[in-house]
Structure 1
Amino acid sequence: MTLTQPRPQPTSARERRKVVAASIIGTTIEWYDFFIYAFAANLVLAQLFFQPAGPEMMQILSLVTIGLSFLFRPLGAFLAGHFGDKLGRRPMLVITLLLMGVATTGIGLLPTYDTIGMAAPIILMFLRILQGLSAGGEWGGAVLMSVEHAPVRKRGLYGIFPQLGVPFGMLLASAMLAIMQFVAPGDAFIAWGWRVPFLFSLVLIIVGFVIRSSVEESPVFEEIAQTKQQESAPVARVFKRHTPLIIICALFFAGNNSVGYMLTGGYVQGLASRPEDQGGLGYNPVHVQLAVLTAAVVWAASTVLSGILTDRFGRKPVVTVGWFVQAAGVIPLFQFVTGGGVLGVLTGTCLLALGLGLTYGPQAVWYAESFPASVRYSGISISYALGGVLGGAFAPTIAQLLLQSFGSTWAIVAYLLFMTALGLVGTSLLKDRTGVPLDHEFERSGAWDRWRPGVGVKL
């Protein structure tokens, strides 16, 4: 018997549309919450929560809190992966969304250092840990719901929908901050305006909860559950059998994530918007946010394009080209930002966004096709979380330290090019498994590791 195509997916077109909506809306809300914090950390949280540390150190400490949540992403990935492979993809989507909403709303209500002293930064860091736990588990569930429901020839396209949560979340966060900086400029933004985007998350969470609660479970997990083939310890099994694959996937994501966090971590926005006496360039903050909002649109368009291309040409060729496009955007980024005013911010961030979409868009489907069904949630979640720690966790902090140490943005460029090269290495080592059957029966047949695109495997 020769198996060259996956078995037909039982998902109806109507249900697929619901899954797509749940993936996009849910991940957009998750990343909106995450980006609102990153932007605020670069703009106001330093002086509100860490001012006693002094002008330079308070900014470093504020940026460190961005990375703090990444340290807890692996724990969130372990927990969500374990229960996602045992109990299902859908329950974890709802739980992680609610956890992120509680943490984000809590930050919006949190008193500052002037009000409650040292308790303020301590509680802030605790809420950041909750955000990290949520983000560590959310992505894997959204990806599997989307990809495992997808027709085989359109997996790349369906896989970009959870990926669109990043540019859409950044777009929404940038828009909210631009509105509030216009409505409550200067001291008013510092006094209360920064809180409104955090509190607005509560409305989004309610919408996301309703939508995600209505979708059906992944057909792949339903097959596993019906045959009672859930792994008793999926995390242990994925490390026992797939540790090299986890490392390769982590390198892949680290190359994209470190560069992406120049935007999504708010570093470029903070550098451009902060007053000159605080180490910034003093550009109009509303105009800067609008420039980054435009870059988010470019990122989204590039992500959609990557999904279309990867279904036609395969995963590896598209991502490989994407790394070179990303490197081409990294090199002139800070020359545009520091020397071109707001128009330079617009140009530099939009060029960078092209490569970011091409390297991030195909990641979801490629990860899903790399791990077998019984440990897929654990495998992709842990790889993603570890890549986040290696890449984006402290990228804004590293960039700020490099700038302070060398006095030149070229040091940051060198760091970002090195991380891009790591992503290229990960891509070169990762097998392209376009079209591999995702169902559990195929895994149980013993043919999973012998699959080759366009050839299939003899059983």
Structure 2
Amino acid sequence: MSTSPTPDAADPRLRREARRVVGATFLGTTIEWYDFFLYAASAALVFGPQFFPSDDPTASQLGAFATFAFGFVARPVGGILAGHFGDRIGRKRMLILSLLVMGGATVLIGLVPNYETIGLAAPVLLVILRLAQGLGVGAEWGGAVTMAVEYAPPRRRALYGAAPMIGLPAGLMLANLMMIVLLAATGPAFVTWGWRIGFVVSVVLVVVGIWARRSLTESPLFETAVKDAPARVPFLEVFARFTPQLLLTIVIAGVPSILSYIVLTWALSYGTAELGYAQSALLWIGIVCCVLQIVMIPVLARIADRWGLVPMGALGGVLMAVTAVLFFLLFDTGEIWLAAAGTIVAHASTSFAWAVVPPLLARTFPSRLRYTGVSMAYQFGAIVGGGIAPLIATALLASSGSTAPIAIYIVVASLLTAACTLAWGRFRTPADTE
């Protein structure tokens, strides 16, 4: 198995390029996740009455969250397509393309007329553009992680992998800030047209992201070990050769997003409609969670580089199970300061898992299949994890009238990811030697 050049090599240009890759992957994933989470917040606050009007508020909200879930369905397709070409012709080109797809879809969402204006065509167009968003973010994450980890020195792969990982809370923070500003600036008009501004201004962010990426050089490992002998059909080879590892990593990468989307997306709707919390207060709590996670993930990643990925990941699963119960106990009190404490603690627990997901996935698959394998694990995990979590939570609350079944759902899933992380530690793949 060939080894890759790393920033520890004598050439200082390679070390400088590694730092540029870290910055560019962070910036690009931040932009992509801003677009993605802007939709999530809008689905919780606006899209129900605007695109799925109904006499039953629950049915309207289910329609909005269903379109949110459609984006997750498209993500594996985007990951497989981008992974196929990323593992054959290079990572950089796919990362630029992913920004174009995501940015274009986001701007168009801001321009789609509502149901009152064009009828059934409104939700249909919304679904199509949400699918395009899913393709874009599906193509993005696996490539960004692959580039960052392949440029990393051997003992800093978790730390370098943290760069695209913290793009997620950074993007969520920007999306929440945008929502807060628009709520304050447009007032009652926010529900009708104010929300659209956040989508349209995404075009500026996309231009900045493409500028940051266009001058990057290709991954050194791709140039030395993949370019001359690429896999013919990477996703078929991943299924054929790495099925157990793929199944384990789907759970490991997917479950943390269940808790994340429940406490920061579903809770926006539940907290305002059922408990009377102010929208802006919940959005500010989300921003605090994001700031804390941006700090925690790289710190925990550095610790994982020293102590091991498996202990950190398993600990994350246990902490998520415990804090999920605490979240509902505090959030359901109706006291905003207790709701804030529960949300912050629960969301912080996911940082232990997220700190090890990028290097763990990258180590699972060899270089010639890495973009594809990482994308498939993360994006299929996103469907079984965060994509359907708001729908499940809404349905469980409607059927039981209690949040207890939702807490049980998260606890079981979190303990499962801890078990899968421990099981992953028993697999040694060729990727471990690179």
TM-score, normalising length: structure 2: 0.95
- Structure 1 stretches lacking a partner, 5+ long: 275-279, 437-446
1:269 is matched with which residue?
A: 268
1:442 is matched with which residue?
A: none
Aligned pairs (5 A) from 1:394-413: 394-413=388-407
- Pick aligned residue for 2:299 from 296, 305, 330: 305
Are the equivalent residues in 1 in contact too, given 2:259–2:347 (CA < 8 A)? Answer: no
Q: What is the DSSP-based 3-state SS (H/G/I as helix, E as strand, rest coil) of the residue aligned with 1:31? A: helix
Distance 1:60 1:80 in 2: 31
2:27 is matched with which residue?
A: 25
Q: What is the DSSP-based 3-state SS (H/G/I as helix, E as strand, rest coil) of the residue aligned with 1:231? A: coil
Are the equivalent residues in 2 in contact too, given 1:260–1:356 (CA < 8 A)? Answer: yes
267 and 231 in structure 1: CA distance in 2 versus 1, 3 angstrom threshold: same
Structure 1 stretch 297-306 or stretch 75-84: which is displaced more? 297-306
**TM-aligned CA deviation for residue 57 of structure 1:** 0.8
Provide Cα deviations, 1:26-51, integer angstroms capped at 9, x if missing partner: 00111111101011101010000000
- Partner amino acid, structure 1, of 2:310: K
Aligned pairs (5 A) from 1:218-367: 218-224=219-225, 228-264=228-264, 266-274=265-273, 280-367=274-361
Aligned pairs (5 A) from 1:5-404: 8-9=6-7, 12-52=14-54, 54-185=56-187, 187-224=188-225, 228-264=228-264, 266-274=265-273, 280-404=274-398
Structure 1 stretch 162-171 or stretch 302-311: which is displaced more? 302-311
Distance 1:242 1:419 in 2: 23
Distance 2:261 2:426 in 1: 26
**TM-aligned CA deviation for residue 344 of structure 1:** 2.3
Are the equivalent residues in 1 in contact too, given 2:73–2:383 (CA < 8 A)? Answer: yes
Are the equivalent residues in 2 in contact too, given 1:291–1:342 (CA < 8 A)? Answer: no
**TM-aligned CA deviation for residue 95 of structure 1:** 0.5
Q: What is the DSSP-based 3-state SS (H/G/I as helix, E as strand, rest coil) of the residue aligned with 1:230? A: coil
- Partner amino acid, structure 2, of 1:196: I
- Partner amino acid, structure 2, of 1:216: T
Q: What is the DSSP-based 3-state SS (H/G/I as helix, E as strand, rest coil) of the residue aligned with 2:242? A: helix
Distance 1:263 1:19 in 2: 31
Percent same amino acid at aligned positions?
36
- Structure 2 stretches lacking a partner, 5+ long: none
Root mean square deviation of aligned Cα:
2.0
Aligned length: 430
Are the equivalent residues in 1 in contact too, given 2:6–2:152 (CA < 8 A)? Answer: no
**TM-aligned CA deviation for residue 328 of structure 1:** 2.0
Provide Cα deviations, 1:136-167, integer angstroms capped at 9, x if missing partner: 12101000111101111111110111000111
Q: What is the DSSP-based 3-state SS (H/G/I as helix, E as strand, rest coil) of the residue aligned with 1:391? A: helix
Provide Cα deviations, 1:199-221, integer angstroms capped at 9, x if missing partner: 12111111111101121110011
Are the equivalent residues in 2 in contact too, given 1:168–1:296 (CA < 8 A)? Answer: yes
Are the equivalent residues in 2 in contact too, given 1:302–1:357 (CA < 8 A)? Answer: yes
Distance 2:191 2:308 in 1: 48
Q: What is the DSSP-based 3-state SS (H/G/I as helix, E as strand, rest coil) of the residue aligned with 2:372? A: helix
Are the equivalent residues in 1 in contact too, given 2:78–2:138 (CA < 8 A)? Answer: yes
**TM-aligned CA deviation for residue 320 of structure 1:** 1.2
Distance 2:161 2:338 in 1: 32
Distance 1:31 1:342 in 2: 27
